[in-house]
Structure 1
Amino acid sequence: MSKKNQSKAEAYSFFSCIEKNFDKAARYIPIKKGLLEQIKACNAVYRIHFPVKIGKEIQVIEAYRVQHSHHKLPCKGGIRYSIKVNQDEVMTLAALMTYKCAIVDVPFGGAKGGIKIDPQIISVENIEKITRRYTSELIKKNFIGPGIDVPAPDYGTGEREMSWIFDTFLSLSHGEVDALACVTGKPVSQGGVRGRKEATGLGVFYGIRELCQMKEEMLSVGLDVGLHGKKVIIQGLGNVGYHAAKFFHEAGAIIVALAEMEGAIYNKKGLNVSNVILHLKNTGSILNFPESKNIEDTEKALELECDILIPAALENVIHKYNANRIKAKIIGEAANGPVTPEADDILGKNGVIIVPDIYLNAGGVTVSYFEWLKNLSHVRYGRMEKRFSENMNTELLQVIENSCRKKIPIEEKKMILRGPREIDLVRSGLEDTMINGFHKIRDLKKSLKIENLRTAAFVLAINKIIDSYEKLGIFP
């Protein structure tokens, strides 16, 4: 793409993309326009400027917390640290969170936060200062709390920052018995839940896998049912992209290309994801991976031959200038907003199935919900039922062995006897959530004859939000 076209794509308002998708869905909803406008609007935007002493100088830090919807409380959404953070981006991501939560039946309103810093060039000590000060500012305005607004990790943040947020909240909220639930994405040792780190990538895998089980959809794009043998390209090897690639690889899909900011690598016979990550750690780049071809322009990797394309990095990477060159038959939006509305229309006319971000990358908030419930209940998953299940399974196996007069091999017996661990229950809950969410969207698309899965997903989300407002008695 030329620099001129690239600048146009980058300048595209992320929030306007969401509004356009919302308006497409609104055509299928028989409700007064004013009520739809209320659902679309961000309820509260908190823009903060606070001073932090960094070295010998005082720097003024720009930060945000946006609460898009209060149809359910608490609000929920991550906090990202990036020099590119701005109000439009945070508002858009908060809106996406509202719709994601509604689709997967997670009882939160959407929220998002951001701090305009580059965490790569700031010391750990100063990142901690900024995080703690930001948390104290949120507490002052009642923008954080187990029943008010629950942050989580996002781009540029992780377990470490969530620990600082929790500790700051705890120190300023004396006697709050549910303080652990003020933030999710914490280390397991501080009330976090096992399986949170890979949740978004695993959710992407579950969603695409379910689509690939649908004979009707696979026939429409000329593919066989199932994931095995399908050629996959993944853009972005961050937390989401890496775990999605790992699970696709383990399921028998062929990862033909992986793309990062510095370029991409390609091998039509397939790339071993674990070996690529090891190469990345050793060299600092995925380029020059043995038995692969380097592609200098990372955007060109999106245009290679494949069955499934997973953009897992930035928004607006597929736009009207490159949409006609996309050869994938299925696009799974692991990132937020990787396909612009204009590209959506072009790809739809070309018969490409797009699995939308507001459903597909909801695995993270789903497991965050599990962590929040764990913190409120003060009991880890599996503690109540693990031993009971093992004892029941032992008795059942004894009955089977006595009836058959044959001993079951020890290794098989161990596998059958094992009770559910926390990670087993979390993954089971995530899998069930993603499968149910997909079928609700698909069924709505078919019943209302909606043009694509994205619009159907928005219709599903809006209807659920309307239902919540009606139960609150807000809408006449």
Structure 2
Amino acid sequence: MAKAKALAQEQHYNFFHSVEQSFDKAAQFTKWEKGILEQIKACNAVYRIKFPVRVGNSIDVIEAYRVQHSHHKLPCKGGIRFSDEVNQDEVMALAALMTYKCAIVNVPFGGAKGGIKINPRNYTPFQLENITRRYTAELVKKNFIGPGIDVPAPDYGTGEREMSWILDTYMSLRPGEIDGYGCVTGKPVSQGGVRGRTEATGLGVFYGLRELCNVKEDMKRLGLEPGIEGKKVVVQGMGNVGYHAAKYFHEAGAKVICLIEWDGAIFNPKGLNPDAVLKHRKETGSIVGFPDAKSLKKNTDGLELECDILIPAALENVIHAGNAPKIKAKIIGEAANGPLTPEADEVLAKKGVIVVPDMFLNAGGVTVSYFEWLKNLSHVRYGRLGKRFDENMNIHILGQIEELTGKKVSEKERKFIAHGADEVDLVYSGLEETMHTALHEVREKFMEHKKIRDMRTAAYVCAIDKVGAAYEQLGIFP
């Protein structure tokens, strides 16, 4: 009995332990002494809450968490997930990953994460609103939310609706706070959200992998041609992240040969159209049975297909010691949080697979959340001040060139050249720059240390160095 209990406890704490293992593996390649490394690794604050909410004729006691992993920079930043799988270990692990993720992509936040242990499908919208508002009130009580303290965002099981409830509750409890709209990101555009936030994580996955595929040396080592066009892609998860990643790869000319969901997987070697699959799922409730596609016996069989790029965009630990030897992908892009175990990392590194780690690759969401937070603090929409000026200037320059050359451009080209950047253009541009810069920083670290065998370790080294430098500059360690 005691042995079974110990085993269950060990499994329960597996995710955070996996993050610590990856951290320790990378720490040996940094200059920081043990004490500083322990401080970087530790979760600074863990808030566990239980509160009652009336559901129908009964009262449910709701279990919830907010973890602030690091205070080396403020505010802390991280999503809130609604799932009956939420536990303290998972939230701590995700908060730690947020710290490292923000450091890698040069977003000035400490890492945080929140979770409410419920299955949102079991509650009505009215009941979910009550739970969300009560959770927010509890965070306000303990000073665990605020534009300069801790800024939540959507995660698994939450979206714009829940963020608008959080905002409204916060503003009612903090009336007159001029920067109050910056207390949460992922809001509807009408409530201070930013255009481009919905697709940000999936688009960031695309930008990061596209840049990797343009590195000739890496592609040559894998036996692939540079570029995205024609590459065979498998995507696990058709949620917001997986769908947008698949959509952008499809539009760029890649072949999305397999899409995997919890209830099945579909395969077509000629490629699938993610928009058509999504439409089929909305009509039937499942991706299974999609015309012109073969349904696989087990959904996990899709992970083991022959392909160039595998994108796990569902939950953690889907690739492990048991199935890692069967993985045939040459590149794995971790769109989900922690989809590979440390044991799988070791197996895949020996096989020469390039694993682009989650802590860099799925940072598109927090990057665009940063842009939204800045928008809320500046109280002005991106592009509002300069868009019209840029358009007028571009038209004037084009007119002068046409007059000097005696040639006219087509109407289509005229519209393209004259176009001034709007909010979504600037958000996409900032995200693309962020993903490109971060990829090459991680890659350079990987090339610099000959003993580093995988990009995850290189990414952790980058993150540890940046967080360590921040602590050093704060003068916390004499």
Report the TM-score, using the length of structure 1 for normalisation: 0.97
User: 1:347, 1:50 → 2: CA distance?
Assistant: 44
Matched, 1:447 2:448: yes
State the shift of 1:418 in Å.
1.1
State the shift of 1:265 in Å.
0.3
State the shift of 1:55 in Å.
1.2
Query: Does the CA-based 8 Å contact 2:12-2:89 persist in structure 1?
Result: no
User: 2:215, 2:222 → 1: CA distance?
Assistant: 11
List aligned pairs for 1:85-164, cutoff 5 A: 85-164=86-165
User: 1:12, 1:379 → 2: CA distance?
Assistant: 44
Matched, 1:461 2:463: yes
Matched, 1:397 2:402: no
Query: Greater shift after overlay, 366-375 or 213-222?
Result: 213-222
What percentage of aligned pairs have identical amino acids? 67
Can you list the C-alpha shifts for 1:320-351, whole angstroms capped at 9, x where unaligned?
01101000000000000001000100000011
Aligned residue for 2:371, secondary structure, equals: helix
User: 2:10, 2:342 → 1: CA distance?
Assistant: 12
User: 1:139, 1:395 → 2: CA distance?
Assistant: 52
User: 1:84, 1:67 → 2: CA distance?
Assistant: 20
User: 1:347, 1:226 → 2: CA distance?
Assistant: 23
Aligned residue for 1:120, secondary structure, equals: helix
- The amino acid across from 1:474 in the alignment is I
Partner of 1:29: 30
User: 2:145, 2:9 → 1: CA distance?
Assistant: 37
Aligned residue for 1:195, secondary structure, equals: coil
Query: Does the CA-based 8 Å contact 2:231-2:254 persist in structure 1?
Result: yes
User: 1:95, 1:386 → 2: CA distance?
Assistant: 39
User: 1:220, 1:82 → 2: CA distance?
Assistant: 41
Partner of 2:212: 211
Provide closer, same or farther for how the CA distance between residues 112 and 11 of structure 1 changes in structure 2, counting only shifts above 3 A: closer
Partner of 2:192: 191
User: 2:425, 2:353 → 1: CA distance?
Assistant: 34
Can you list the C-alpha shifts for 1:127-179, whole angstroms capped at 9, x where unaligned?
00000000000000000000000000000100000000000000000220001
Query: Does the CA-based 8 Å contact 2:202-2:335 persist in structure 1?
Result: yes
Partner of 2:18: 17
Query: Does the CA-based 8 Å contact 1:81-1:118 persist in structure 2?
Result: yes
Stretches of structure 2 that go unaligned for 5 or more consecutive residues are: 1-7
State the shift of 1:10 in Å.
7.0
List aligned pairs for 1:59-458, cutoff 5 A: 59-449=60-450, 450-458=452-460
User: 2:436, 2:10 → 1: CA distance?
Assistant: 33
User: 1:322, 1:246 → 2: CA distance?
Assistant: 27
State the shift of 1:475 in Å.
2.0
State the shift of 1:231 in Å.
0.2
User: 2:303, 2:10 → 1: CA distance?
Assistant: 15
- The amino acid across from 1:175 in the alignment is G
User: 1:70, 1:61 → 2: CA distance?
Assistant: 27
User: 1:12, 1:113 → 2: CA distance?
Assistant: 17
- Aligned length in residues: 470
Partner of 2:3: none
- The amino acid across from 1:391 in the alignment is N
Query: Does the CA-based 8 Å contact 2:32-2:468 persist in structure 1?
Result: no
CA RMSD of aligned residues (A): 1.2
State the shift of 1:12 in Å.
6.9
Query: Does the CA-based 8 Å contact 1:46-1:65 persist in structure 2?
Result: yes
Aligned residue for 1:475, secondary structure, equals: coil
List aligned pairs for 1:37-48, cutoff 5 A: 37-48=38-49
User: 1:12, 1:45 → 2: CA distance?
Assistant: 15
Aligned residue for 2:460, secondary structure, equals: helix
Stretches of structure 1 that go unaligned for 5 or more consecutive residues are: 1-6
State the shift of 1:296 in Å.
2.8
User: 1:216, 1:326 → 2: CA distance?
Assistant: 23
Report the TM-score, using the length of structure 2 for normalisation: 0.97
Query: Does the CA-based 8 Å contact 1:78-1:151 persist in structure 2?
Result: yes
- The amino acid across from 1:466 in the alignment is G
Which stretches of structure 1, 4 residues or more, deviate above 6 A after TM superposition? Answer: 7-10
State the shift of 1:288 in Å.
1.1
User: 1:414, 1:221 → 2: CA distance?
Assistant: 41
State the shift of 1:33 in Å.
0.8
* 2:474 pairs with one of 466, 472, 475: 472
Can you list the C-alpha shifts for 1:343-366, whole angstroms capped at 9, x where unaligned?
100000011000000000000000
User: 1:211, 1:408 → 2: CA distance?
Assistant: 35
User: 1:12, 1:188 → 2: CA distance?
Assistant: 38
